[in-house]
Amino acid sequence: MDVPAALQPYVRTAWLPETAEEDGPRTASKLGGTAWIPADETWPACPNCGRSLQLLLQLNPDDLPEAVRGEVGEGLVQLFYCTSQDPLCEVDCEAFFPFSASVVARRVVPDGEGSEAVPDLADPFPPRRVVGWRPVDDLPVPEDAPELSLPDEVWDEVYRHGLVERDKLAGWPTWIQGPERPACPRCGTEMRVVFQIVSDDTLPILFGDMGTGHLTRCPEHADVLTFGWACT
């Protein structure tokens, strides 16, 4: 679409993961697969059902576009999620809200080979190693640019053609029910979106009825990360 002049200053670059059907090194950026686990730890498990969590995302700053490495921070950013259907942990533990017990969002600093731990999953997601990032222009929704007074038809055009409703690094979040940026439990600062995961895009996962999830981090406390999702 032709971006209206008033929206030009709001254009951000989103980075779409280009993936290969392989796991790669444990420290690689990936969606699904095996993560780097500290030597003194076991694979993360759900406290509700006791089963292994699925790795949804691992980001290694060495693999990321230079423009966003500082935003992601140092070490590996990891996101694990319980996909158990019986019990249905994402409902029992309200995984759609930030800081759910059935979700682990964290930052670890690799030191040596780490643990050989692997997830004990009946139906693990196929690993998708990130081998590149494709930059695309991304636009906000009205809630993220409240100071703009644009006609409804302009925003309608943005919704139809200007939103990057994909798995993506950085850019503008695609909100389903309005902005959902949690506050850091340590300092109260609004957390920033690092990565967006869309139902049935790179991973065969559904968040409710084709929902969209966001991994966020505190800009003041690098080790505070969380994940939540929403659907229509």
Q: Which residues of the chain have pLDDT under 50?
A: none
Q: Is the dihedral of CA 44, 16, 141, 61 positive or negative?
A: positive
Q: Could you tell me the residue ranges of all domains in the chain?
A: 5-36+43-230
Matching residue, tokens 């967006």:
196
Whole-number average pLDDT of the chain? 95
At 217, list the tokens: 């981090």
- Residues across the chain: 232
Residue 87, preceding peptide bond in cis (omega within 30° of 0): yes
Query: CATH homologous superfamily for 5-36+43-230?
Result: YwqG-like (2.30.320.10)
Q: In the prediction, which pLDDT does 54 show? A: 98
Residue 205: predicted pLDDT: 97
**What is the dihedral angle through the alpha carbons of 89, 91, 97, 99, rounded to the nearest 10 degrees?**
-20
pLDDT digits (tens, 9 = 90+) for 75-128: 999 999 999 999 999 999 999 999 999 999 999 999 989 999 999 998 999 999
Contact 3, 137 (CB under 8 A): yes
Q: Is 176 left (phi over 0), alpha (psi -120 to 50) or beta?
A: alpha
Q: What is the pLDDT at residue 4?
A: 85
Angle at CA of residue 99, ends 95 and 101, nearest 5°: 60
Rounded to two decimals, what is the model's pTM? 0.96
